Amino acid sequence: MRGTLGAFSAGLREFYEAPYRRTMARARRDEDDLFTLVVLAEALGVPNPASYYTVEMLPLVADRVHEWHTRIGLERSPLDHVSCC
């Protein structure tokens, strides 16, 4: 009985979530790009009043810099001190 209800619940979840999966993935990617831009703002020459707080997040974003700059259409890294390509 539990297996049947679990399968039915999984089917309902798939039915309701499937049409919005692409939209949610795009929204998540846009939020990640904005977060990366805010964290790297000081390195890009944009004054960032929250740089004291965002500098701690640089190691988290450093792994995704190459993916980020290729996705926004930059062939090379816009950061002078980070050469990922």
pLDDT along the chain (85 residues), means of 10: 90 93 94 90 86 87 86 82 73
Question: What one-letter code names the amino acid at 73?
Answer: G
Determine the pLDDT at residue 54: 87
Determine the pLDDT at residue 55: 85
- The structural domains of the chain, with segments of one domain joined by +, span 1-72
Q: For residues 79 and 59, what is the distance between their CA atoms, to the nearest angstrom?
A: 14
- For residue range 20-37, list pLDDT tens digits in order: 999 999 999 999 999 988
Q: For residues 45 and 42, what is the distance between their CA atoms, to the nearest angstrom?
A: 5
**Full-model pTM:** 0.69
Which residue, chain included where needed, has tokens 């996705």? 71
Taking Cα atoms as reference points, which of 42, 84, 44 lies closest to residue 64? 84
